[in-house]
């Protein structure tokens, strides 16, 4: 149950009410919002005098539900708008990992030349094996800060676990929570306390219900700047790395009020399929895309098979505006 | 191993060679083609004098492989062409099941008005429960024949099991092998003996490898008119009925020489997601689409939730040509 | 809804009632049983004078439900009893395929020596590739008939598709419907008309609901001799061939009134895991086991990796009685 | 590649060598062990003078492989031994969560009465919804410490994310890494630095390869006390909560040198299936079991459906020794 308290009710009262209801509370604009697990008729009646509006749900998808707020929430990324009626589809590209100053500088210049405002690059890599390249860590974050200042690009980078969440939040414009960290409450709670945009990737073994509930952890701490990112789920099929769940995207667009991004690179796992999948995503009317590109994919230190080179990316990028236009969207 | 015998070699010799190689053989144009499981150096040398060309593969995907024939095969459906460099995307619609003469006539008139050349409708329904509507069977096929004659529409209808395969082949322009029958050799072998086009749906629990191998059963009996149809695979996600595997479609387009159709209706299971998914499929550059439509979906005797009504279908259909055009394809 | 008509009501009336209720009907003992999809209050009242008992269900699992008949049904295999309070666990073994008279004779003698009453062996193999060994077909069935007569063994063999179902029913003591044919109504309907025991394998992409509904096709035609066989489902795990679903077996034992067999050989796909899995199955208190054994597994024409040799099988077989005894069951 | 340096080589040299090889290194007994991703012939030759033994692998399963150490590693839990030729199967029980002092005291007394040495209970619950009971946190850990001191029970409790890993390590005898945290390097690295036993649960969307690689993170930091715990994977089946992967257990037993525990409670999700599954696990010859029990399951604050009551647990527990005995194992 979501409860909008009346304007003017102060925090002491909000806190007391939230305790009696076993609810979470946060400030939104000039009022307090309370959310709890279950609808309780008696308690509901008892607190009526303090309440502006009640919203009752049949599942623990509440703040993210279109039954609560029936539009795509608007996300502000330092001047860029997605969702909120903007009809923008934001294209983000960059390498899987920051590997060196030279490499990330090449990528930044490439983005600049194409007019792509946001650069992606990972510093803390959630690798499966302890014996693989684990990312440059803090050193990588420092490189991203330099690039950000030098080129005026916005940065999205991934947090791997809760031990470096503060550093990532401080360094980036969009905090990326990777698929393997989707359930990590150490991360989710910190992301609920910042006001920076959060891009939450779906765990590859996670249901849509769990995916949106992870977003609820962030929303229920008062950060409404949450983007959902579908990046492929694990199925029995092995010819491709994962299976991009566009049926799931159709579900999210219809039932959830958060913008939806797609990551076809991780889903496919092979560069050859990325262009076709990207065009399919754009034609679905989504809010954004994360595509891995690299100056020399064959030399990449991680995810070499799925990154596309600059030439292929440019061809792909140029093919998107007419598709977007044909469904009333704009590539930004 | 695929073996093209030299022109002029007669069937007696072809048969003998195929026995010595444990191979299947069939006529193609004016020569015999032999296919067997394994590459055998000694046998290969022994038969060289009879052979025009050898093709060796590392898996049992052979006739369907782009390593054998590096284009999309051309399929002729009574005057319509798909594949073979045509750049056509064929849209097929119609109800899940033939329910009555009135209903199927309404559907036929709707297709005629929109200029949609092929009507889909099932007569033998592979229902999960014995207590549900099982389709009109032979009576339904008779209705489809009448409609075919009256409106000049081409017909695609599904075979459920091997007991009525002859009747279906005789009545339709495209034989549809449903997902639950993908492995049915009684059906596959009969479809290999006809020369009518076959639309083979992927089993929802079947890998791409198995899917294409089922097509090999048909191809290896000499029928090259095979269309693959992805219709969603079964995953852990339950908010949608199945998961449309567009990564798999990207794989098929790159590695397999058969045209690929998509069925977003069965994948999604809910009408609300069908338009977005259909547009995504078109933007991938596929060869055709199967979409369920019904005069009154809520009264449908099967798959009521996923069929869209005529108005929604018309809106959707009108939105497709610009998307197709933006990637160089034409909706037919 | 299941309806037991009163004793003495004749077929003319039973047929009329079943038509008015859109129900299937069959004779059981001395009365007619009707089953239809939905509970309809008005119709129910109208037919009350003819009815001995009504059973109403919330899903299309009806005849197989423990809410209808709250015991494991008793199955008679020519003198052997499973289910029905017998506490027997029947062990069946034999090769994947009949390959030659010598091979199947070796297997028969091995079974005889160990006192194993039922021999398994396939003649029509549902192979994935058209280029692999497809089984000996009719010739294999003839060999099995000879073996059956010579050694007094009971035979279980698999039907691949509806084109040879009559031949298989005639030749065997238990008809095996393979995983790939689970939905095949051509087969299911014929198996409903015979009175021989049917072993129905779960499709590897099929839910427990669909599995039991396939059994309902047989039960609703009056053949109550149905055994369910779990043989592994397809999951994302690739180190093993399939994933044996023992949680599903726990569900079936609690909710369904049909005996449950297990096939650990197909689930695992590798001989090394079969003994441990077999012991696990026995400890669950199941009704029977299908285990592939072969005189020389490495030379087997199909499923070579998962068949165990006679020595390994004998060790395994000897380890089972104490486990069975510890849960009150007897290996037969 | 695993490299055993010669005895007597000091840390300075070990460190230098590990840097030149891009390897991880740790002390084991009186020698240094280096592990890196790839076998490199040139480097291998260069360091030969320092090396006692090389082990080369074809995947990143190295320290956990039976090709490296061909027995089950021995784990010491404060006087209890599992693995290492002990033939013990350790039964652990307790509630899902610490809910109150009274509740956990009841559980402790129950364990004491049955002679069960290890008590399980969670304090930081990785709940899917932010609106559900999240565990008692630090307060719960304090209760567990009291119980531990008072009853002399060993404690296993779960870490949810990296923010409280130090507290959990300090409080418990076995650190449990939950399924949702399996990839959490913040946790894995800390667990590699302690010498307490770690029970690592398989992520429900994780392959066996990834599962064992997560264990490699811990092993490669020098903590060899790692137990693997299979607790069910996510599949398309929805009648049960997860699917217990006993084929996977057969794989682990054959290929991996770490003890394997099973958690049938989480796999099944329903109390009714737990006894049968538990007996199946014991018959497989596993090293231990985690079973949820609760004084009043229906009042549990988390996982109410899958916890069994004391009476059912006692019946189950008493049924296990004869099964274990029949395969040469002992329940402890």
User: Which tens digit of pLDDT belongs to each residue from D56-111?
Assistant: 998 899 999 999 999 999 999 989 999 999 999 999 999 999 999 999 999 999 99
Question: Where is average pLDDT lowest: B185-189, C154-158, C210-214, C297-301?
Answer: C297-301
Instruction: Judge whether C239 is closer than 8 Å to chain A, CB to CB.
Output: no
3-state secondary structure of C146: helix
Nearest to C128 among B161, B162, B210 (CB): B210
Question: How high is the pLDDT of residue A166?
Answer: 96
3-state secondary structure of D198: strand
D323, pLDDT greater than 90: yes
Question: How high is the pLDDT of residue D116?
Answer: 98
Is C247–D267 a contact, with Cβ atoms under 8 angstroms apart?
Answer: yes
Q: Which residue of chain B has the CA closest to D233? A: B236
- Cβ contacts (< 8 Å) between C246 and chain D: which residues? 244, 246, 276-277, 280
Q: Which residue of chain B has the CA closest to A236? A: B207
Give the helix ranges, DSSP H, for D88-245: 101-114, 138-151, 165-171, 185-193, 208-219
Is C185–B126 a contact, with Cβ atoms under 8 angstroms apart?
Answer: yes
pLDDT band at B172 (very low <50, low <70, confident <90, very high): very high
Which two structure tokens, joined as six digits, stand for D106? 């009841």
Instruction: Judge whether A162 is closer than 8 Å to chain D, CB to CB.
Output: yes
* Shortest Cα distance, chain A CAs vs residue D177, angstroms: 12
The predicted-structure confidence for D153-186, as pLDDT tens digits, reads as follows 999 999 999 999 999 999 999 999 999 999 999 9
Please state, rounded to an integer, the average pLDDT across all residues of chain B.
95
Instruction: Taking residues B191-215, report their average pLDDT.
Output: 98
- Cβ contacts (< 8 Å) between C220 and chain B: which residues? 130-131
Chain C with chain D: Cβ pairs closer than 8 A: 142
Nearest to D183 among A126, A132, A206 (CB): A126
Instruction: Taking residues B84-90, report their average pLDDT.
Output: 95
pLDDT band at D152 (very low <50, low <70, confident <90, very high): very high
Is D128–A210 a contact, with Cβ atoms under 8 angstroms apart?
Answer: yes
Q: How far is CA C186 from CA B161, C26, C179, C182, D28, in A?
A: 6, 19, 15, 10, 65
* Shortest Cα distance, chain C CAs vs residue A182, angstroms: 19
C23, pLDDT greater than 80: yes
**Of D216, D230, D226, D237, nearest to D196 (Cα)?**
D226
**DSSP run (H or E) holding B282:** helix B274-283
Pairing assessment for the beta strands A75-77 and A80-82 based on DSSP bridges: antiparallel
The predicted-structure confidence for C112-143, as pLDDT tens digits, reads as follows 999 999 999 999 999 889 998 899 999 999 99
CB B7 within 8 Å of CB B202 = no
The predicted-structure confidence for C27-77, as pLDDT tens digits, reads as follows 998 899 999 987 777 888 888 999 999 999 988 999 999 999 999 999 999
B297, pLDDT greater than 90: yes
Question: How high is the pLDDT of residue D42?
Answer: 81
Distance CA B64, CA B227 (A): 11
* Shortest Cα distance, chain D CAs vs residue A274, angstroms: 24
ipTM of the complex: 0.96
What tens-digit pLDDT sequence spans chain A (332 residues)?
999 999 999 999 999 999 989 999 999 988 999 999 877 778 888 889 999 999 999 889 999 999 999 999 999 998 999 999 999 999 999 999 999 999 999 999 999 999 999 999 999 999 889 998 899 999 999 999 999 999 999 999 999 999 999 999 999 999 999 999 999 999 999 999 999 999 999 999 999 999 999 999 999 999 999 999 999 999 999 999 999 999 999 999 999 999 999 999 999 999 999 999 999 999 999 999 999 999 999 999 888 899 999 999 999 999 999 999 999 999 99
First to last CA, chain B: 37
Instruction: Judge whether B157 is closer than 8 Å to chain C, CB to CB.
Output: no
What's the pTM value of the predicted model, to 2 decimals? 0.97
Please state, rounded to an integer, the average pLDDT across all residues of chain C.
95
- Cβ contacts (< 8 Å) between A235 and chain C: which residues? 236
Instruction: Taking residues D284-300, report their average pLDDT.
Output: 95
Is D247–C253 a contact, with Cβ atoms under 8 angstroms apart?
Answer: no
Instruction: Judge whether C205 is closer than 8 Å to chain B, CB to CB.
Output: yes
Is C130–B217 a contact, with Cβ atoms under 8 angstroms apart?
Answer: yes
* Shortest Cα distance, chain A CAs vs residue C325, angstroms: 38
Distance CA C95, CA C300 (A): 8
D30, pLDDT greater than 90: no
Question: How high is the pLDDT of residue A2?
Answer: 95
The alpha carbon dihedral of C14, C19, C21, C27 has a sign of: positive
Is C160–B186 a contact, with Cβ atoms under 8 angstroms apart?
Answer: yes
Distance CA D131, CA A38 (A): 8
Q: Which residue of chain C has the CA closest to B236? A: C235
Residue written as token pair 């410490």: D145
CB D289 within 8 Å of CB D261 = yes
CB C163 within 8 Å of CB C169 = no
How many whole angstroms from its chain centre is CA C247?
18
pLDDT band at D45 (very low <50, low <70, confident <90, very high): confident
Distance CA D59, CA C273 (A): 21
Instruction: Judge whether A244 is closer than 8 Å to chain B, CB to CB.
Output: yes
Instruction: Judge whether C166 is closer than 8 Å to chain D, CB to CB.
Output: no
pLDDT band at B40 (very low <50, low <70, confident <90, very high): confident
Instruction: Judge whether D209 is closer than 8 Å to chain A, CB to CB.
Output: yes
The predicted-structure confidence for C196-228, as pLDDT tens digits, reads as follows 999 999 999 999 999 999 999 999 999 999 999
Is A237–B207 a contact, with Cβ atoms under 8 angstroms apart?
Answer: yes
Angle between helices A310-326 and A274-283 (to 10 degrees): 20
Is B213–C60 a contact, with Cβ atoms under 8 angstroms apart?
Answer: no
Between positions 264 and 303 of C, the ones with CB within 8 A of D are 267-268, 272-273, 276-277, 279-285
Nearest to A250 among B245, B250, B268 (CB): B268
B45, pLDDT greater than 80: yes
Question: How high is the pLDDT of residue C43?
Answer: 81
Question: How high is the pLDDT of residue A30?
Answer: 87
Question: How high is the pLDDT of residue B303?
Answer: 85
Question: How high is the pLDDT of residue C41?
Answer: 79
* Shortest Cα distance, chain D CAs vs residue A43, angstroms: 16
How would DSSP label each residue in B89-137?
A: EEEEEE-SB---HHHHHHHHHHHHHHT--EEE-BSS---S-TTS----T
Distance CA B152, CA A186 (A): 65
- For the sheet containing C24-28, what is the strand order? C24-28, C31-35, C2-5, C51-55
pLDDT band at D133 (very low <50, low <70, confident <90, very high): confident
**Of A153, A90, A157, A145, nearest to A120 (Cα)?**
A157
Kindly list the partner chains of chain C, i.e. chains with 3 or more CB atom pairs below 8 Å. A, B, D
């Amino acid at each position: 149950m979501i409860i909008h308290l009346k304007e003017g009710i102060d925090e002491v009262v909000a806190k007391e009410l939230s305790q009696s209801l076993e609810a979470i509370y946060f400030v939104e604009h000039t009022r307090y919002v309370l959310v709890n697990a279950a609808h309780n008729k008696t308690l509901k009646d008892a607190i009526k005098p303090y309440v502006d509006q009640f919203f009752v749900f049949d599942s623990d998808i509440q703040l993210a539900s279109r039954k609560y707020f029936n539009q795509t929430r608007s996300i502000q990324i330092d001047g860029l708008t997605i969702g909120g009626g903007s009809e923008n589809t934001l294209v983000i590209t960059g390498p899987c990992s920051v590997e060196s100053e030279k490499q990330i500088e090449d990528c930044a210049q490439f983005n600049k030349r194409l007019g792509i405002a946001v650069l992606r690059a990972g510093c803390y890599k959630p690798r499966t094996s302890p014996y693989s390249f684990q990312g440059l860590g803090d050193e990588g974050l420092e490189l991203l800060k330099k690039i950000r200042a030098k080129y005026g690009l916005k940065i999205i980078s991934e947090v791997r676990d809760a031990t470096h969440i503060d550093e990532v939040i401080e360094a980036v414009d969009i905090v990326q929570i990777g698929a393997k960290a989707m359930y990590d409450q150490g991360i989710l709670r910190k992301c609920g306390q910042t006001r920076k945009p959060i891009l939450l990737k779906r765990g590859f073994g996670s249901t849509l219900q769990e995916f949106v509930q992870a977003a609820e952890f962030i929303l229920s701490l008062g950060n409404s700047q949450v983007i959902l990112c579908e990046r492929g789920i694990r199925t029995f099929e092995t010819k491709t790395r994962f299976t991009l769940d566009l049926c799931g995207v159709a579900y999210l667009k219809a039932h959830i009020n958060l913008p939806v991004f797609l990551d076809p690179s991780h889903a496919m796992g092979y560069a050859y399929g990325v262009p076709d999948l990207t065009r399919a995503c754009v034609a679905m009317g989504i809010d954004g895309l994360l595509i891995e590109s690299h100056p020399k994919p064959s030399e990449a230190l991680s995810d070499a098979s799925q990154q596309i080179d600059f030439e292929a990316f440019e061809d792909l990028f140029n093919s998107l505006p007419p598709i977007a236009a044909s469904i009333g969207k704009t590539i930004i």
